[in-house]
Amino acid sequence: MNNAPQRLIPALGLISIFAWTAGLDAETSADQTAAASGEFFCFPQEMTADEIQIAMDEFGFRPPSAPTDTSTQRYVHDLFVWKDAANFGAAGQANRADLTYSFADDGVTWGLASIHAPSVGPNDLNAELVATFGDLDRGREYIRQSLAAWSRHTGVEYFEVPDDGSPMDSSTVHSPTRGDIRIGGADASGAPFLAYNAFPTAGGAAAVSGGDMYIATNKFTFLGFKDPTDDYRLLRNTVVHEHGHGLGSMHVVPCTQTKVMEPQVPTTFDMLSEDDIRGGQRNYGDRYAGNHLISDAKDFDNLTPGGGLRTIAESNLSLNGDFGPNGTHTDWFTFFLTTPQPVGIFVNPVGGLYDTGAQTTGCSGAVSTFNSKEAGNILLELIDLNTGVSWLADNLGPGGNEIINPGVLPVGDYALRVTDIGPTANQDVQLYDLIIQTGPIGIAPPAPPTANTGINKFVKAGEPCWFIGNMNSTVSTPGATIVSYDWDCDSDGIPDIGSPTGEVVWVYPSSGVYAVTLWVTDSNGQVDEHTIIVTAHDGQTEVFSVNPPSAYRGQVVTSIVDGANYFLPTTLSLSGSGWTANGFQAIDTLGLQAEVTIQIDPDAAPGFRDVRVTNIEGAPTLIDGFEILICVGDTNGDLIVDTADLGLLIANFGNNVVPWTGGDMNGDGIVDTADLGLLIANFGNSC
C-alpha cells in the first residue's frame, strides 16, 4: 500500500464539486416528510438560483433522521450497521460483514415513493452504462471497483448474485434471489439530486432501510457521470459516497474536499480518505478483521522462502480503542522462518491534525481539530512460539513509532501482538502501518505492491467480462510504480492475459465458478497477488465432436467431447439402444472439453448414432456423431473371433433372429451360410 497522502489534482471547473444533502424539515409536505426517513440525496453544485431554492424548499440540507448531536466527532455513523452475513448489530464493534449485491435489470421499477415519488420509474441504468462505457459489464465494473474501495480497507466482503427483478423497496430481509445491496437508477428529470441511498436498517437514526442505491440516470451527461476525467472519478466517488450511507456512514463537515463522506463529492483524491477509512473500520474492522486472538491470527507464512527474504508492508490497519469490544483493541499476526535471519518490526501510527464534525445543515456543523495519529497508544510484542521468549515495545506513547529489533532470530514460528493500551481519544480508532523486514540492514528487499482485483462478480457467459486492476492496487515502496498487471482468468494458476494499464477483457464460454487472480509487479520487481471469484451464468451448451468417434460392439471407450458449458452437471446420450454412458466430466479450465465413458452392448446394432449432451442450459445434438462398429465374425461381443463365436452361430444356424444377434453377421435377420462364411473368413482375428 502507498503510505503517502492521496494525490491532489487541480479543480475540474464547472463539475469539480457536487454537494450531497438529504432529508426535509419537519414542516414539509407528506412526500417531503417521508424523504426525511434518512435517505441522502446528491445535488450538483452548478445549480441555478431557482434550482437551489427548490432543493432547499423540497428537501432541505440536513436529514432530520440524522443525529442532531454536534459533539466533537470525526467520522459519523448510524446506530446500527451490517454484521456477519447480512445481519445487523450495534455500530462501533468492528465486526466483519458479508454482503451480496445485484444490479437490477432495465425496466424494473426503481426508486422509493416515500423518498421522491416523481422520480420512481423504470430502471435504465444499464442502458446508460452501455452508452457511457461501450459495454455493460465494463460500466458495472466501475461501480464494482467503487465498492471494492470499501472492501480494500474494511472487513466487508461482497458477492454478486442474480437480481429477481422486484421493484426497489426498503426490505432488510436477506433473500437468495437478489442482493442485500441492489443497484439501479431511473430518470429523475426535474429533481435536483444526483443519487440517494438507503441506510442498512431503520432501527437507528435513519428511517429508510435496505442499503439500496438509486442513481439519477438523467445525470449521465458529459458534464456529469459521462465525464471521463481521472477515469470517471466523479461517477466512482459518487458511488463510493452513496454506498458509504449504505454501510451506515453519515455526513461530516467542513466541506474541504478531504473526505468522501462530506456533503460535497471530493474530486481531489480517489474514493476513500483517512477519515472514511477510520469510520468504516470502526464498524467493520480492517481487511483482516477478526484476528483478535492468536488462534485467529493473520498468517504471513514463510518470510524466508527458498532461502530468500520477504518484506511485509501492510498499511491502514487499525485498532478499535483500548477497550475495544470483543477484543478489537488487539491484532495478532504470525510468521515463520526457515533460515536464521535478522528481523526488524515497525508499527507506525497513521494520521495527523485536521478539522471535522457532524453535519447540521449544508456544509455547517460544530467543527473541532483532531490528531488521529494520537488516537491510541500502541504496544508491540514479538513472541517466539518455540521458546516463549518475547520482546516488547511501548516507548514513545501515543503517536510514536514502535520498533522491535531482536537481532538474528532462529528458525521457527513467531507471533506479533499489536494492542492499543490507551488512553484512547478521537473516537477510538487508531490506524497504523505494519512493516516486517528480514535480513541485515540495507539488504532487506523492498516491500511488494498491494494487488487488488476488485470484488467477487457475476457475469453472463459468452459476453465480455471486464477486469480493472489499477483502481485499487497500489505500490508500497516510495518512488516505485506498477509496471504490469497479469491476470489468470481460468483458475489454472497461469497468467492468461496482461496489460500495462490494468484493464483487460475476457469471455467465459461456459457457466461455472472461476478463481481469477491478479499479479501486480512494481518497478522494483516485487510482486503481489489477489484473487476473487467470478461466477459465469447462462452459458450456451454445445457439442462439436466426440473422439474417438466410434467403438465396436462389446467395447468400452473413453471419449473426449469437444463443445462448451461442461462445468454444469451434464449427461451424454446416443440415439437408439445398446449403449451406456457414464462419468461425463469437464477436463479443461474453461469447460470446453469433457471426458465420458461409453460402453457398447455386445449385441448393439452397428451404425451411426446421434450424440446429445444435456444439462440445465441446453441439449444440443451432433448428428451422426458416433458410430457403433461390428467386429465381423464376433458373435458374443468379446472382440475375438474364435470357437465360442462359431458355437453360437451353429446353435442358431437356420433360425430367424433379431438382426445382428445370435450369429447374424450381415444383419439380414437369419443365420445362414453367408454368416458362416464371414465368420470363417475372419476366424482368429481380434478387433
- Per the rule left: phi > 0, alpha: psi between -120 and 50, beta: everything else, 462 is left
- Read off the pLDDT of each residue in 231-243 and give the average, rounded to a whole number: 95
The DSSP line for 586-627 is E-STTS-EEEEEEEE-TTPPPEEEEEEEEBTTB--EEEEEEE
Question: Crossing angle of helices 673-681/643-651, nearest 10°?
Answer: 180
Q: Is the pLDDT of residue 18 over 60?
A: no
pLDDT confidence of 631, banded at 50, 70, 90? Answer: confident
pLDDT of 68 > 80? The answer is no
Q: Hey, what CATH topology would domain 294-438 get?
A: Jelly Rolls (2.60.120)
Provide the pLDDT confidence category of residue 223 given band limits of 50, 70 and 90.
confident
The most confident of the ranges 114-123, 370-379, 591-600 is 591-600
At residue 264, the pLDDT reads: 78
User: Does residue 8 surpass a pLDDT of 50?
Assistant: no
C-alpha span between 193 and 44 (Å, rounded): 7
Q: Is the dihedral of CA 497, 502, 507, 512 positive or negative?
A: positive
Amino acid at 254: P
Reduced to 3 states (helix: H, G, I; strand: E, B; else coil), residue 179 is coil
Looking at the chain, the domain(s) classified CATH 1.10.1330.10 span: 632-687
Once rounded to an integer, what is the mean pLDDT over residues 151-173?
A: 96
pLDDT at 17: 28
Averaged confidence pLDDT in the chain:
87
**Cell numbers of 337, please?**
522462518
Across 109-123, average pLDDT: 93
pLDDT tens profile 484-495: 999 999 999 999
Contact yes or no for 517/480 (Cβ under 8 A): no
Here the cell at position 549 is: 468417434
Rounded to two decimals, the pTM is 0.86
Using one digit for the tens of pLDDT, what is the confidence trace for 285-312? 999 999 999 999 999 999 999 888 999 9
**CA 217, CA 444: separation in Å to the nearest integer?**
51
Mean pLDDT of 419-437: 91
List for the chain the helix, strand, coil content (%; round to 5): 15, 35, 45
How confident is the model over 321-355, as pLDDT tens digits? 998 999 999 999 999 999 999 999 999 999 999 88
- As a whole number of angstroms, the distance between CA 3 and CA 5 comes to 7
58, HSE (Cβ side, Cα atoms, 13 Å) = 17
Range(s) of the chain covered by CATH 2.60.40.10: 457-537, 542-629
Q: Could you give the CA distance from residue 678 to residue 670 in angstroms, rounded to a whole number?
A: 14
Worst-scoring range by mean pLDDT, 342-351, 409-418, 440-449? Answer: 440-449
| Pair 322, 316: CB distance under 8 Å | no
Helix-helix angle 229-246:136-153, to 10 degrees:
60
Whole-number pLDDT of residue 49: 57
Topology of the domain covering 542-629: Immunoglobulin-like (2.60.40)
Residues 6+ apart with CB under 8 A from 520: 449, 450, 451, 469, 473, 482, 484, 485, 527, 528, 529, 530
Per-residue pLDDT of 579-620, as tens digits, reads 999 999 999 999 999 999 999 998 899 999 999 999 999 999
What is the radius of gyration, based on Cα positions, of the chain?
Answer: 33
What superfamily would CATH give domain 632-687? Dockerin domain (1.10.1330.10)
The predicted pLDDT at position 679 comes to: 84
CATH 2.60.120.380-classified regions of the chain: 294-438
Confidence category of residue 382, pLDDT binned at 50, 70, 90: very high
pLDDT of residue 50: 61
pLDDT of residue 78: 85
In contact, 252 and 275? CB cutoff 8 Å: yes
- Predicted local confidence at residue 252, as pLDDT: 87
Q: Judge whether 420 and 376 are in contact, CB under 8 Å.
A: yes
**What pLDDT is recorded for position 483?**
95
What's the confidence (pLDDT) of residue 54?
Answer: 57
Is 23 buried (19+), middle (13-18) or exposed (0-12) by CB count in 10 A? buried
**pLDDT average, residue stretch 530-547:** 98
Handedness of CA 633, 636, 642, 648 (dihedral sign): negative
C-alpha cell belonging to residue 121:
420509474
- Residue 181: pLDDT over 80: yes
**Secondary structure, 3-state, 468-517:** ECCCCCECCCCCCCEEEEEEECCCCCCCCEEECCCEEEEECCCCEEEEEE
136-153 helix and 125-133 helix, angle to the nearest 10 degrees: 100
CATH, range 457-537: 2.60.40.10
Q: What pLDDT was estimated at residue 69?
A: 37
Span(s) in the chain for CATH 3.40.390.10 = 13-68+78-284
Is the pLDDT at 12 greater than 90? The verdict is no
pLDDT digits (tens, 9 = 90+) for 29-66: 222 222 333 334 555 555 565 655 555 555 544 332 33
Q: How confident is the model at residue 10 (pLDDT cuts 50, 70, 90)?
A: very low
So what CATH class is 13-68+78-284? alpha beta
Phi and psi at 144, nearest 5°, equal: -60, -40
Helix, coil or strand: residue 295: helix
